[in-house]
Chain A
């Protein structure tokens, strides 16, 4: 059975690109959410193998979502990849402090997404 990947990103274009980038992850089930709250709801259901979280989102921003994930016993082991813009180095630093495992900078490259996700799934 393939991995379950959660994408939490408000931009439909970015979501499309991430899904497209992860198409080479054989048998993976990819679930898309457009804000942190929706992401949290998904995470409380069936378990995921990895989560890709955008920082800047409406309703609940990415950093808050990461904090909540790491404070939840059942979710604290899930690898998190945070997606930030290049200029937001503070956000990136903060996300890593909160427990994100890796980060991707916009504009992102499809092969880099796959490389990072595969790397974390292997470690797991």
Chain B
């Protein structure tokens, strides 16, 4: 025990055994601390001495220069990697947004398709088409036209925004609506003036079953949030509607006709058997 340590712990010898043990341990720690301090001082001296020699100084400078170069190269690589990761991150974010949009589109298409084939009642089918155009596409004013196969005239049977009677009938293949309805593809028109011209819709979706025209959906205005334009989803929905709605309408008409025939036959059989 050094005299200095004795000074730090006067009367330590008189302490009880457990405390004595702790005191010894503390002394050892202090001694170790002292030894380390000395070593550090020696190291600092050696380093100082080395730097003072011109050759060592040059060597140290070279080493540092090399280290700086290496670090700069690493820094450049890391920056490049960071840029690449940021670009990838951006691409993933864009892809995520696209996927979400795609998911929305699929949800709408699934619901529309499911609903269209959920009934064989013509009125219900037409009402479902109305709901799809209102709720999924966001059209404000529109009409669903059905073709009278005898007169070849398109007549509005369901409408939104205005009364059905306000929508003019037109011959298939004649006029803006008639021509668009006779076409095989959805036609989108530029909005002219304030719109509202019932002879000129902003979109016309022909309802066709193969080569057979059954009618058309004509939209004249959109809800405010649509910004007056149709999105890619709207076009997909329209294309899907053109096919699926036509099938649903045709199936409902066919079912209604067969039901009528069945009732007639049943009435005839009843008449014969009673």
Contact = CB atoms under 8 A, between A and B. Distances in A.
Contacts, number: 58
B136 A20 contact: no
Contacts of A109: 104
Most buried by A among B107, B112, B131, B138: B107
A68 B118 CA distance: 34
Contact of B107 (A20, A85, A106): A20
A86 B138 contact: yes
A119 interface: no
A106 B111 contact: no
Given A13-B115, A14-B131, A17-B108, A106 B224 contact: no
Contacts of A12: 115, 118, 128, 131
Contact of B114 (A14, A16, A108): A16
Contacts of B128: 12-13
Interface of B: 100, 103-104, 107-108, 110-112, 114-115, 118, 128, 131-132, 134-138, 140, 223-226
Contacts of B107: 17, 20-21, 110
Nearest to A89: B224
A14 B103 contact: no
A13 B110 contact: no
Given A17-B108, A21-B107, 4 more contacts: A12-B118, A12-B128, A17-B136, A107-B223
A14 B100 CA distance: 19
A8 to B, nearest CB: 15
Contacts of A77: none
A7 to B, nearest CB: 13
Interface in A25-55: none
A2 interface: no
Contact of A13 (B104, B136, B140, B224): B136
A107 B115 contact: no
B223 A85 contact: yes
A12 B118 CA distance: 11
Interface in A71-101: 85-87
A87 B224 contact: yes
Contacts of B135: 11, 13-14, 17, 106-108
Contacts of B115: 12-13, 16
B111 A87 contact: no
A13 B131 contact: yes
A19 B118 CA distance: 16
B137 A17 contact: no
B136 A107 contact: yes
A105 interface: yes
25 contacts: A11-B131, A11-B135, A12-B115, A12-B118, A12-B128, A12-B131, A13-B115, A13-B136, A17-B135, A20-B111, A85-B223, A86-B224, A87-B223, A106-B135, A106-B138, A106-B223, A107-B135, A107-B136, A107-B137, A107-B138, A107-B226, A109-B104, A110-B107, A110-B108, A111-B100
Contacts of A111: 100, 103-104
Most buried by A among B100, B111, B136, B140: B111
